[in-house]
Amino acid sequence: MLEPEGAYYVLADFRAIRDLPDRAFVEWMAAEVGVIGVPGSAFYHHKELGERLVRFAFPKRDETLHEAGARLRRLAALVT
């Protein structure tokens, strides 16, 4: 696992979870998992470079981060 060095966000590749455009993936994840991300294409001039990425931010309380981690671990059951 790579830990961020000095940042409070991370871009994650979601292709192994769902074959969806980034915005659709973010909407699916919010509805099914209860965790919100930002479509990766929002951070690129050439949108296609971020279309399989989701960005998560971590400027949250520890309790919030622990709950998000638990929800993301349950994501494995939803992967097809």
Domain containing residue 65: CATH number:
3.90.1150.10
Kindly state whether residue 45 falls inside one of the protein's structural domains: yes
Cα–Cα distance, 9 to 51 (Å, whole number): 17
Tell me which residue has tokens 């699916």: 28
Cα–Cα distance, 39 to 21 (Å, whole number): 9
Please give the tally of structural domains in the chain. Answer: 1
Domain extent at residue 39: 9-78
Kindly state whether residue 42 falls inside one of the protein's structural domains: yes
Kindly state whether residue 60 falls inside one of the protein's structural domains: yes
Kindly state whether residue 2 falls inside one of the protein's structural domains: no
The mean pLDDT of 51-60, rounded to a whole number, is 87
Q: What is the number of other CB atoms lying within 10 angstroms of the CB of residue 9? A: 13
Average pLDDT of the chain is 87
Kindly state whether residue 1 falls inside one of the protein's structural domains: no
Report pLDDT digits (tens) over 5-44. 666 888 999 998 889 999 999 999 999 888 999 999 999 9
Kindly state whether residue 49 falls inside one of the protein's structural domains: yes
Q: What's this model's pTM, rounded to 2 decimal places?
A: 0.77
By C-alpha distance, which of 32, 49, 50, 31 is closest to 40?
50
1-10, 19-28, 41-50, 60-69: least confidently modelled range: 1-10
